Amino acid sequence: MHSLRSLSVVLSLFTAPVLAAEPQAAPQAPTAEPEKPRCEHGVQKSLCARCNPKLAPVFKAKKDWCPEHARPESQCVLCNPELAKKGVK
């Protein structure tokens, strides 16, 4: 019994420094998608109907169009002032 206890003490002396030296892995936060490039209007460049007028029919077909300001309703900061908080101009 005495030798078994001695063996466990010896083993703990060898393994403790190794375990203590290993850095603890920090919990990984989910990686956010990279920010999409924005145009001068503050909208994702590839979706800006003012920069890309050919997109207008697509937005109109989706019933996402502001005829008063000639832009998608989802990009119309004049009708939706809260979009300014997101950087839309």
The DSSP secondary-structure symbol of 8 reads H
Query: Contact at 8 Å (CB) between 88 and 41?
Result: yes
What amino acid is encoded at 4 in this protein? L
pTM: 0.59
5-53 pLDDT per residue, tens = 665 665 566 655 555 555 566 666 666 667 789 999 999 999 999 999 9
Q: Judge whether 43 lies within some domain.
A: no
For 85, the domain range is 56-89
Q: Judge whether 6 lies within some domain.
A: no
54-79 pLDDT per residue, tens = 999 999 999 999 999 999 999 999 99
Calpha distance 73→66 (Å, rounded): 5
Q: Judge whether 42 lies within some domain.
A: no
Q: Judge whether 85 lies within some domain.
A: yes
Structural domain total, the chain? 1
Gap between the terminal Cα atoms of the chain: 79
Q: Judge whether 35 lies within some domain.
A: no
The DSSP secondary-structure symbol of 17 reads H
